[in-house]
Every structure is written in C-alpha cells, then in structure tokens.
C-alpha cells in the first residue's frame, strides 16, 4: 500500500517534531492560569505522562478477538458427461454451446468463499453474512486459536444479508461476544473492525463511526447501516464491529471501493438487527418472519413537504393500503405522513422498514403521523403476513423460458417475502437460479406471470400444465411493478 505509507510517514514525522515542542512548553513559565483555559481546550491537553501516551486498544482486542472466526465455504458440483436438457435448450434458444468445461471434459466444479464470523452463543452459534455462504454446501470455521471445525447452516436471511451457522462438536470452551447497544452509537465514537481480510489471518483495524442510518448502500433489503472508516476489505464480510467495551455493535458487510480495497468507507449491519436474527435461530426457526403492515410507503419530496407545511422532507408517505391489513385496521389513510415508529424518527422508506421490522410479531407499535395539519398517533397490531392460499411451490425443470425459476401462488405472505408492492392474484417468481435459462430469459424475482401463449395463468398448476411439453415458440406476459410486459422466445 504505497499511498498509505506516504500518508502515514509525514504524520509520524509531525508527531516526532511536536513532542519536544510540547515538552519545552511544559518547562516554560505558565503565562496562562489553568482556570482561564477554555474547558474544551483543557480536555485536549498534551499527555503529561508515559502512561497516558501508552494508552492502547489492546485490552479491548484481547476481550473481543477470541469470538471472531474465519468462515470457509465451498460448493462442489459434479458435472455430467452427457449433454443435458439445459445444454440443448441453451443452444436452441440462445445460440450457446453445451455449457460443459473446456474440451467437454466432465468432472467437478468447485466454488469457494472466504469470510469472517462472530460467535454469539457458547453452544457454537456463529453469525456471518449470507453472501459468504450463499449457494454453498460445505462450511468450516477456524477459531482465533487456529482450531478448525465443520459447521452446519442453521438459518439464512438474504433480506438482511445475515446467516447463522453452528459449529459441529466443538472441543473446549467457546467465547461468545456480548451484544452492544447499536442504538446508542454516535458519530465520532471509536470502533474496531475484526476479521480476516484477504485471507491473511485475523486482523484488527481502528476507526470511528463516520455516519449512522445510511440507507443507500444496496446490499440488502433493510437499508440502515453504520458507516465507519475502520479499514474493511474483502474477507472482512461477517466480521465484528466492536465498541470500546468489546461488545458487538455491528456485522461488517460492505465497502465502497473503486479498486476492491478499503477507501475508508465501510458499512456494518447494526447489532439490533443482528440480535433479532440470532434470537430467531435460537428459537429453532429456519427463516426470519417479520411483521406485516399491508401498506406501501414512499419518499417525501421537497414539494410534498412544503405542501404539508414542513420545513424539510421527513417521514414516509402512505401511498396505498391493502384491504383488511393491519394498516387499514389501525385507521391509516392514503396520504398520511408517518413521522415516527415508537418515538424514533424515520426519514425515508428504508429507515421506516428497518424500524418496523424490529418490532416482532406480537403486541402493537405506535406510529406518529401527520394528517392534514394535525398530528396524531395510531396503534398498529403486529403479526405476520397471512398465507391466504397454499403456495404450491413449483421448480420448473422442463425446457422452457421458466427453467431454473421457482414459482409460487401469491398471497400477502409471499408479497412480503419477495418485496412485491402489493399482492396480486396469479403466480409470482420467488427466485431465479444464477445463469439459468430463466435468468437469461430476463425473469426477475417479484415478476407475476400473467399469461403463456395467450392462456391466463392463475396458479402454479396452470403453469405446470402449460410448460409440461416442449414448444418451439413461447409468448410470455408478466406483470412487473404494475406494467405488463410481453416477450417472445423461439428456436
């Protein structure tokens, strides 16, 4: 890192020059009485003893480091020597080769991933990023003392980019890191990032909280990140952001970089969200369920803020409501401005979604709203989105534009999970395999299949029936965000 060295060397030289000057000043007559020094300057006085100069983060690191682990994940796939149905379909519809390895030689294809994790329970539960283990079927964990164990995947939560894994048959004691209070963090607080950058081994970097509630990062559905200038690099994903008590205040998850290295802009998922995912795993669930509102909210523009008598944009505007939803039953109305969730200010839909998601599945939460020129409070009942009809999940494996897609019947629960604005009758795409026929055909998570070859599609059974036989031509109509798109695929 030549640039880094060039930055630090002048700073070190400046400190060496400044130290004797400070010592000389201490020996000169005091022309300013201590009581006349401004309090804020007095608090920033030059260190007066060797002990003060030698202050260190080492005690914090000793407390926290044993809880941070390295996570090694891999996916081994055996490739068939025979031409597959997908190979043939890819050739016919997209003009591609067989998809086998160079020279057509069958064998094993391995994907590998390296990241970090944090032990959060002495039974062996480890929290990491979902993208570290995504699509992986083998996971190993290496402790700070270099012991290694196999681990099983307990829970994945792609919406927060978090996952919980469990160390199998650990020997000896495991040190769990206690949770800190991420809600009490302030910009300027010291933090440490601990992880395994670039696979070099456990590494500690130090910085401050640069910003809070960052909502335009784009690495998960719940945008509400802690920003830090503590160096975070590839391999740090899933590692710990630690306060000066040695407590977990965040899970490092993303960096802003144009080169792949740290530019001093890193992001961590707050401990409040991490704790909710861990508690779900401890309760035995394999998926995280969150409260359902049944309303769509949108940003408040400067024009909207002015029309409502606000001096600046804040809160979220209720754009639409679903019948018989908690939002409707609470008395929310289209055009209401939600300003707070249980007293905590929300400034955009991402912050609102984060605050609401943390409320659990029982009891009520209170929204502070502005309706017209008056302010009031409404109590919203907390509970999961209902499954109003069976999903009848369908994984399409026949040769068609849907090959590699997972489809389900829509319901409020499905709409909540795959982030559709509001559920519509029909069949929704809940997932698309990477590099699959469906992905290349342009299908996206959240698409609703309207018709195939002119035939209306209301259920997954309808879709299965239509795609049962191979055809030379497919006309597919989908509803994407309220707009119906039609595409034709042919051989």
Beta strands 295-298 and 316-321, pairing class = antiparallel
What are 458's two structure tokens? 């209301």
Distance CA 289, CA 247 (A): 26
Q: 161, 229, 336, 462: which one is catalytic?
A: 161
302 touches 313 (CB < 8 A): yes
Token pair in block for residue 70 = 């390295």
> φ and ψ at 438, to 5 degrees?
-60, -40
- Residues 92 and 108: their CA atoms lie apart, in Å, by 25
Establish whether 116 is a catalytic residue.
no
- Considering only CA atoms, give the Rg of the chain: 27
DSSP string covering 160-228: TTEEEEEESS--S---PPPB--GGG--TT-EEEEEE-GGGS--EEEEEEEEEEEE----SSSS--EEEE
Examine the residue annotation and report whether 312 is marked as an active-site residue of this protein.
no
Neighbours of 204 (CB within 10 A): 20
For residue 210 the two structure tokens come to 């640069």
Strands (E), 14-104: 68-78
What pairing do the DSSP bridges indicate for beta strands 148-157 and 203-214? unpaired
Q: How far apart are CA 345 and CA 337, in angstroms?
A: 12
258: helix, strand or coil: coil
- DSSP assignment of 416-463 equals HHHT-SS--SSEEEEEE-TTSHHHHHT--TT-EEEEETTEE--SHHHH
Q: What is the distance in angstroms between the CA of the first residue and the CA of the last residue of the chain?
A: 53
Tell me if residue 131 is catalytic. Answer: yes
- Looking at the DSSP bridge assignments, the partners of residue 112 are 74
Of the residues 67, 113, 116, 131, which is catalytic? 131
Name the catalytic one among 237, 400, 411, 436: 237
The answer to whether the beta carbons of residues 230 and 192 sit under 8 Å apart is yes
Backbone angles phi, psi at 421, to 5 degrees: -55, -60
Known catalytic residues? 131, 161, 237
């Amino acid at each position: 890192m030549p640039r880094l060295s060039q930055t630090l060397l002048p700073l070190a030289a400046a400190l060496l020059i400044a130290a004797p000057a400070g010592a000389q000043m201490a020996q000169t007559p005091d022309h300013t009485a201590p009581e006349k020094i401004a309090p804020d300057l007095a608090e920033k006085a030059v260190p007066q003893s060797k002990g003060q100069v030698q202050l260190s983060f080492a005690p914090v690191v000793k407390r926290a480091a044993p809880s941070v682990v390295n996570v090694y994940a891999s996916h081994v796939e055996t490739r068939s020597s025979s031409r597959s149905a997908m190979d043939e379909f890819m050739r016919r519809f997209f003009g591609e080769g067989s998809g086998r390895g160079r020279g057509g030689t069958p064998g094993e294809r391995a994907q590998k991933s390296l990241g970090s994790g944090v032990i959060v329970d002495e039974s062996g539960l480890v929290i990491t990023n979902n993208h570290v283990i995504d699509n992986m079927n083998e996971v190993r964990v290496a402790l700070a003392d270099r012991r290694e164990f196999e681990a099983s995947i307990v829970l994945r939560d792609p919406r927060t980019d978090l996952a919980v894994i469990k160390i199998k048959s650990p020997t000896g004691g495991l040190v769990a890191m206690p949770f800190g209070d991420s809600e009490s963090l302030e910009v300027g607080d010291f933090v440490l990032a601990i992880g395994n950058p670039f696979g070099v081994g456990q590494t500690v970097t130090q910085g401050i909280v640069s910003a809070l509630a960052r909502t335009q990062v784009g690495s998960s559905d719940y945008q509400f990140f802690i920003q830090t200038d503590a160096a975070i690099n590839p391999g740090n994903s899933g590692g710990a952001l630690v306060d000066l008590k040695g407590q977990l205040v965040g899970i490092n998850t993303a960096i802003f970089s144009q080169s792949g290295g740290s530019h001093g802009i890193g992001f961590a998922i707050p401990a409040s969200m991490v704790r909710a995912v861990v508690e779900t795993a401890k309760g035995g669930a394999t998926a995280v369920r969150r409260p359902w509102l049944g309303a769509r909210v949108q940003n408040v523009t400067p024009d909207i803020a002015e029309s409502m008598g606000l001096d600046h944009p804040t809160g979220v505007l209720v754009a639409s409501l679903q019948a018989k939803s908690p939002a409707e039953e609470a008395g929310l109305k289209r055009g209401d401005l939600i300003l707070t969730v249980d007293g905590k200010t929300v400034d955009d839909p991402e912050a609102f979604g984060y605050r609401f998601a943390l409320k659990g599945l029982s009891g009520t939460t209170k929204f502070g709203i502005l309706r017209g020129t008056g302010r009031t409070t409404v109590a919203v009942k907390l509970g999961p989105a209902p499954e109003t009809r069976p999903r009848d999940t369908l994984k399409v494996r026949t040769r068609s534009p849907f090959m590699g897609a997972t489809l389900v019947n829509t319901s409020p629960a499905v709409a909540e999970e795959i982030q559709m604005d509001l559920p519509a009758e029909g069949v929704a795409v809940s997932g698309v395999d990477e590099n699959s026929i469906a992905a290349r055909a342009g299908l996206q998570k959240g698409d609703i299949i309207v018709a195939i070859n002119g035939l209306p599609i209301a259920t997954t059974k309808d879709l299965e029936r239509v795609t049962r036989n191979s055809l030379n031509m497919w006309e597919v109509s989908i509803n994407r965000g309220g707009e119906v798109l039609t595409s034709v695929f042919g051989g």
